C-alpha cells in the first residue's frame, strides 16, 4: 500500500493499494518495486519527491527501480561514526539510529 502522510494533521491517506500475488520467477521485492514505480507519477504530481520506506526496502532491486522515477528514498537513518579507530577488528561504521526527538542538535 502506498500512502501520503500529512505531517501537519498527523494522518496518512491511502494513495494506492494492491494485493501481492506471487509470480514464480519474480521476488516479492521486485513486485513491490513495480507497484512503487507505478504510483511514482502520482506522487511526483503531488509535488512530493521523497519515498519513506522501511529498512526492508533498502535492497538493490528496490532502490535501483525507484531512483530512475525521480523519487528519493528515505529508509532507516543512522549516524555515521566519526570517532577514532579502537585498534581491533573492522572500523565502526555507524553511531546508532537517528532519534529526531533527542538528536536535533547533531544536524547542521
Any domain includes 72: yes
Any domain includes 89: no
Distance CA 21, CA 29 (A): 12
3-state secondary structure of 57: helix
Any domain includes 82: no
Distance CA 18, CA 37 (A): 13
Total domains in the chain come to 1
Query: Which residues make Cβ contacts (< 8 Å) with residue 98, sequence separation at least 6?
Result: 77, 78, 79
Digit-coded pLDDT (tens) for 81-92:
888 888 888 888
Any domain includes 85: no
Is residue 39 within 8 Å of 2, Cβ to Cβ? yes
Q: pLDDT tier at 64 (50, 70, 90 boundaries)?
A: very high
Any domain includes 86: no
Evaluate if residue 66 carries a pLDDT over 90.
yes
Digit-coded pLDDT (tens) for 20-53:
888 889 999 999 999 999 999 988 998 889 888 8
Amino acid at each position: 500500500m502506498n500512502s501520503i502522510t500529512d505531517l501537519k494533521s498527523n494522518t496518512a491517506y491511502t494513495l494506492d493499494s494492491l494485493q501481492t500475488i506471487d509470480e514464480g520467477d519474480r521476488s516479492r521485492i521486485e513486485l513491490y518495486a513495480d507497484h512503487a514505480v507505478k504510483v511514482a507519477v502520482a506522487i511526483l504530481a503531488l509535488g512530493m519527491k521523497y519515498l519513506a520506506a522501511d529498512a526492508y526496502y533498502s535492497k538493490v532491486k528496490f532502490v535501483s527501480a525507484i531512483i530512475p522515477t525521480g523519487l528519493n528514498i528515505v529508509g532507516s537513518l543512522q549516524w555515521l561514526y566519526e570517532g577514532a579507530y579502537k585498534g581491533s577488528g573492522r572500523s565502526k561504521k555507524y553511531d546508532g539510529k537517528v532519534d529526531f526527538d533527542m538528536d536535533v542538535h547533531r544536524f547542521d
